[in-house]
Amino acid sequence: MLSILRWGVIASFLICIISLIIMVLKTLSFGRKPVYAKSQGKGIRGILYAFGKGMMPWEKESTRRHILTYTGGTLYHGGIFAAFFCLFSLVMSFELSIPLKFLCSILIGLGFLSGVGLLVKRILLIPLRKISCVDDFAANLAVDVFLALALLNIFYPGLETFFYGASIILFLYIPAGKVRHCVFFFYARILFGLFYGRRGVLPRKIRFET
Amino acid sequence: MNEEKKYQKDFFEDRIENIKAEDIRKALYVFHRKLSNQSAAYLNSCLHCGLCADSCHYYLSTGEIPSIPAYKLSLIEKIFKKHFTLLGKRAPGWVKAKDLTKDLLPEWIDSLFGRCTLCGRCSLNCSVGLNIAYLIRAARGALASVGLVPPGLQSTINTAILKGNSMALPREDWIETVEWLAEELRAEVNDPQAEIPLDRKGARLLYTVNPREPMFFPLSIVAVAKIFYAAGESWTLSSEDYDVTNYGFHSGDDNVAALISGRLVRSMEKLGTQDLVLAECGHGFNSNRWEAPEWLAKKYGFDVKSIIQIVADYIQKGRLKLDPSRNPEPVTLQDPCHLVRLGGIVEEQRYILKRAVARFIEMNPNREKNFCCGGGGGQLAMPRFAKRRLEAGKIKADQIKETEAKVVASPCHNCIDQLLELNKHFDLRVKIKTVAEIVADALVI
């Protein structure tokens, strides 16, 4: 049974990757608009900004104002990466050291709490609820269950079956729902960097020292 | 409401009410044609986290949910998901996917035209960095393709197309105004040889103006002429194609926008000038500097600059002598979104003002993080949304009050119009000036 589930995880992972690749190719098929206006800054500098300084909480008013949500989101994603690492070790059958297990359990635990917190926020805040669709709740829930089972599996290895099951569901849901942002985030962020970098806005191109 | 406005409003409501299925198909087709890989990536990426809400002056001033940028984006997302995503096609309710139908049109018009100034502030504050204004403009373009641009904005565009400028100023009146302004300049600088050149071939700079200047604020042209005079510049105005504004940018109609901006290119080629210099106009700068080459699918053989860049350059090179004590009152600066956040002209205006006024005070936040004044995105040409526009200006009014400045400088005529209204509405008791007017006052000739 476990062996079948393990292969199920690998298969669903491959389906997920292939689907995401197809989605990116489909997105690219919408065509690229050539750029004619003379550049004022370097696109690459904008991209570096977008993935570096631009991600820092002090750079954005929205994150400064909602530092708890920003922290929650960061912890959530940290927990997800740790849970994927645990899944990887399980599928590849290598034992994690005790300190690594401890670290993963902390990250996954904090990630789970953050995920639940963000879900509760989405349910309770009217403006947030109004801009949400079922997919937003489902995606959050699918990831929370995945995190919960990853955490439980560290302490109760007998729950492997459930962890594998949740992983298969998550992998299959990723390309279909909003979790596809695991790829499109990087795509959109590169575009953000290129746009502001070319225009010399971010990072700011100083031609006149004030 | 006067009869003409009432007629326009009824006509527009009627147009929405009686829109045909083939028009909706056309709008959808145009929307599809406008999608590039960029827009498709953006439409796949919104997390619905809502962190953009507090970045929008509309939402901050009213707290209305349809003003949340993510909500406005979701109106466009619905259509995209319905046509281009698996879940949207198979289980539309799951992702709120929806076809573009007649019942969705009023909300599209209200939100995409009436709750957005295309200022791009939400993009900077978006968790992902989505260019929401870019998508809203694309959706506006789809509406424009079937005649669903709010009447005031559309009639401004029609005027620009038919009359050559957005204020329907006849060519003879423009020439006469320039001649009269040249006399003003001569009196001002006390030099009978001083002039405002018109159609001078081979001049270094072709200067464009906002038609509201010759119509209502002609002295702002004299201010620029005085600066050029003091710097000893070789420049000219064009008697035909001189309008820096481009309302096609606001309606999202790329063909119209290309036609309007193409006129300035024609002027440049006809007069053989070296650089195209744009008057203090935010959207005019974004349109002609950044977007027009894309609309026209053409690499320009000349540079497009803002007058702000030119003046900053003069000061840096010592071509202008300024006496800041001639502007003794405290001055603050309104950063026009299309010039600063979307245009990349950020420090030049500060460099100028710090040398032209006795006391310069920054608003908070400023530069690319500034708040929109509420006058952008064609809002000033859409009276149906005027009440909301003024309400949304509260954020800017509060910012101005906080500085305790007596003068607000703004390198954008659109911002100036909105600021003049905010001045009255919120009793700010400030003077509103262009940067060139302030520099002209400080000039030592």
ipTM of the complex, rounded to two decimals: 0.94
* Shortest Cα–Cα distance, B69 to chain A (Å): 10
Nearest CA in chain A to B315: A208
The count of residues in chain B is 445
* Shortest Cα–Cα distance, A58 to chain B (Å): 11
Is pLDDT of B2 > 70?
no
Q: How far apart are CA B441 and CA B436, in angstroms?
A: 9
pLDDT in tens, A38-60: 999 999 999 999 999 999 999 99
Query: Which two tokens mark A85?
Result: 């690492």
Q: How far apart are CA A60 and CA B375, in angstroms?
A: 24
* Shortest Cα–Cα distance, A52 to chain B (Å): 13
Determine contact: B56 vs chain A, CB below 8 A: no
pLDDT in tens, B21-60: 999 999 999 999 999 999 999 999 999 999 999 999 999 9
CA dihedral A31, A32, A36, A38 (to 10 degrees): 160
Across the interface, whether the CB atoms of B299 and A192 are under 8 A apart is answered: no
**Quick one: how far is CA B368 from the chain centroid?**
15
Query: Which two tokens mark B80?
Result: 């995209």
Q: Which residue has the tokens 């027009």?
A: B292
In a domain, A33, yes or no: no
Spell out the residues 6+ positions from residue A188 whose beta carbon is closer than 8 angstroms to its own. Answer: B41, B42, B45, B128, B129, B130
In a domain, A134, yes or no: yes
Which of B332, B324, B339 is CA-nearest to residue B431?
B332
Q: What's residue B9's pLDDT?
A: 62
- Among B148, B169, B186, give the residue marking a domain's end: B148
What does the pLDDT average to over B153-182? Answer: 97
- Whether the Cβ atoms of residue B396 and residue B362 lie closer than 8 Å to each other: no
What does the pLDDT average to over B419-423? Answer: 98
Residues B141 and B105 in one domain: yes
Q: Shortest CB distance from A199 goes to which of B130, B290, B297? A: B290
Number of domains in chain B: 3
In a domain, A203, yes or no: no
Across the interface, whether the CB atoms of A73 and B55 are under 8 A apart is answered: no
Q: Shortest CB distance from B48 goes to which of A36, A69, A136? A: A136
Q: Shortest CB distance from A207 goes to which of B38, B124, B347? A: B347
Angle at B66 between CA B142 and CA B61, to 5 degrees: 120
Residues B138 and B117 in one domain: yes
In a domain, A204, yes or no: no
Show residues of chain B in contact with A69, CB under 8 Å. Answer: 49, 51
Q: How far apart are CA B70 and CA A128, in angstroms?
A: 10
Distances (CA, A) of A134 to A72, A123, A177, B94: 21, 11, 10, 5
Q: Which domain holds residue B366?
A: 324-442
Q: What's residue A3's pLDDT?
A: 87
Portion 268-307 of B in contact with A at CB < 8 A: 289-294, 296-300, 303-304
- Among B297, B316, B335, give the residue marking a domain's end: B316
Is pLDDT of B7 > 80?
no
DSSP state of A54: G
Q: How far apart are CA A146 and CA A131, in angstroms?
A: 25
Residues B401 and B261 in one domain: no
Burial label, A186 (beta-carbon count in 10 A; 0-12, 13-18, 19+): middle
Portion 107-126 of A in contact with B at CB < 8 A: 125-126
Is pLDDT of B3 > 80?
no
Distances (CA, A) of B410 to B65, B147, B349, B418: 30, 33, 9, 11
pLDDT in tens, B257-309: 999 999 999 999 999 999 999 999 999 999 999 999 999 999 999 999 999 99
- Whether the Cβ atoms of residue B131 and residue B72 lie closer than 8 Å to each other: no
pLDDT in tens, B323-344: 999 999 999 999 999 999 999 9
Portion 179-208 of A in contact with B at CB < 8 A: 180-181, 184-185, 187-189, 191-193, 195, 199-202, 204-208
DSSP letter string, B391-440: HHTHHHHHHHHHHT-SEEE-S-HHHHHHHHHHHHHTT---EEE-HHHHHH
Task: Round the average pLDDT of chain B to a whole number and report it.
Answer: 96
Distances (CA, A) of A24 to A21, B37, B90, B148: 5, 9, 20, 33
Portion 70-89 of B in contact with A at CB < 8 A: 70-71, 74, 84, 86-87
Give the bridge partners for B205, in sequence order. B235, B275
User: Helix, strand, or coil here: A195?
Assistant: helix
Whether the upstream peptide bond of residue B328 has omega within 30° of 0, thus cis, is no
Across the interface, whether the CB atoms of A207 and B368 are under 8 A apart is answered: no
Question: In this structure, what CATH number is given to the domain that contains residue B98?
Answer: 1.10.1060
Report, in angstroms and rounded to the nearest whole number, the Rg of chain B calculated over CA atoms: 22
Q: What's residue A1's pLDDT?
A: 67
Determine contact: A58 vs chain B, CB below 8 A: no
In a domain, B425, yes or no: yes
Q: Shortest CB distance from A135 goes to which of B50, B53, B94? A: B94
Show residues of chain B in contact with A127, CB under 8 Å. Answer: 50, 53, 65, 68
Q: What's residue B6's pLDDT?
A: 63
Q: What's residue B324's pLDDT?
A: 98
In a domain, A95, yes or no: yes
Angle at B82 between CA B77 and CA B85, to 5 degrees: 85
In a domain, B197, yes or no: yes
Q: Shortest CB distance from B41 goes to which of A31, A65, A187? A: A187
Residues B309 and B332 in one domain: no
Q: What's residue A207's pLDDT?
A: 74
Contact pairs from chain A to chain B, CB under 8 Å? 176
Give start and end residues of each alpha helix (H) in A41-176: 43-51, 61-65, 67-91, 98-124, 126-130, 134-155, 160-173
* Shortest Cα–Cα distance, B229 to chain A (Å): 23
Is pLDDT of B13 > 90?
no
Q: How far apart are CA A77 and CA A69, in angstroms?
A: 12
* Shortest Cα–Cα distance, B346 to chain A (Å): 8
**Phi, psi of B11, deg, nearest 5:** -60, -45
- Whether the Cβ atoms of residue B168 and residue B159 lie closer than 8 Å to each other: yes
Residues B37 and B117 in one domain: yes
Determine contact: A137 vs chain B, CB below 8 A: no
Determine contact: A62 vs chain B, CB below 8 A: yes
Q: How far apart are CA B103 and CA B115, in angstroms?
A: 18
Question: In this structure, what CATH number is given to the domain that contains residue A115?
Answer: 1.20.950.20
Q: How far apart are CA A196 and CA A187, in angstroms?
A: 15
Residues B300 and B336 in one domain: no
Q: How far apart are CA B37 and CA A187, in angstroms?
A: 10
Q: How far apart are CA A181 and CA A173, in angstroms?
A: 12
User: Secondary structure of chain B: what % helix, strand, coil (to 5)?
Assistant: 60, 5, 35
In a domain, A164, yes or no: yes
One digit per residue, pLDDT tens: chain A, 210 residues? Answer: 678 999 999 999 999 999 999 999 999 999 988 899 999 999 999 999 999 999 999 999 999 999 999 999 999 999 999 999 999 999 999 999 999 999 999 999 999 999 999 999 999 999 999 999 999 999 999 999 999 999 999 999 889 999 999 999 999 999 999 999 999 999 999 999 999 999 999 998 777 776
Determine contact: B266 vs chain A, CB below 8 A: no
Q: Shortest CB distance from A204 goes to which of B87, B346, B365? A: B346
Q: Which residues of A26-59 are buried (b: 16+ CB within 10 A; e: fewer)?
A: ebeebeeeeebbeebbebebbbebbeeebbeeeb
Residues B223 and B239 in one domain: yes
Show residues of chain A in contact with B125, CB under 8 Å. Answer: 60-62
DSSP letter string, B172-197: HHHHHHHHHHHHHHHHHHT-TT----
**Phi, psi of B20, deg, nearest 5:** -95, 160
Show residues of chain B in contact with A185, CB under 8 Å. Answer: 45, 128
In a domain, B5, yes or no: no
Residues B171 and B309 in one domain: yes
Determine contact: A127 vs chain B, CB below 8 A: yes
Which of B281, B263, B261, B170 is CA-nearest to residue B215?
B170
Query: Taking the CA of residue B53 as centre, how many other CA atoms within 13 Å lie in the half-sphere pointing to its CB?
Result: 21
Number of domains in chain A: 1
Determine contact: B341 vs chain A, CB below 8 A: yes
Which of A103, A73, A81, A87 is CA-nearest to residue A149?
A87
* Shortest Cα–Cα distance, B141 to chain A (Å): 17
Q: Which domain holds residue A115?
A: 2-24+63-175
Across the interface, whether the CB atoms of A206 and B130 are under 8 A apart is answered: no
Query: Which two tokens mark B294?
Result: 């894309």
Distances (CA, A) of B349 to B103, B205, B328: 46, 20, 18
Is pLDDT of B247 > 80?
yes
In a domain, B3, yes or no: no
In a domain, A207, yes or no: no
In chain B, the percentage of residues whose pLDDT exceeds 70 is: 98
Residues B107 and B241 in one domain: no
In chain B, the percentage of residues whose pLDDT exceeds 90 is: 96
Q: What's residue A191's pLDDT?
A: 97
Is pLDDT of B421 > 60?
yes
Across the interface, whether the CB atoms of B291 and A128 are under 8 A apart is answered: no
Q: How far apart are CA A27 and CA B377, in angstroms?
A: 28
Across the interface, whether the CB atoms of B344 and A207 are under 8 A apart is answered: no
Residues B91 and B197 in one domain: no
Whether the upstream peptide bond of residue B336 has omega within 30° of 0, thus cis, is no
Q: How many C-beta neighbours within 10 Å does residue A210 have?
A: 15
Residues B261 and B133 in one domain: no
Angle at B364 between CA B361 and CA B366, to 5 degrees: 90
In a domain, A68, yes or no: yes
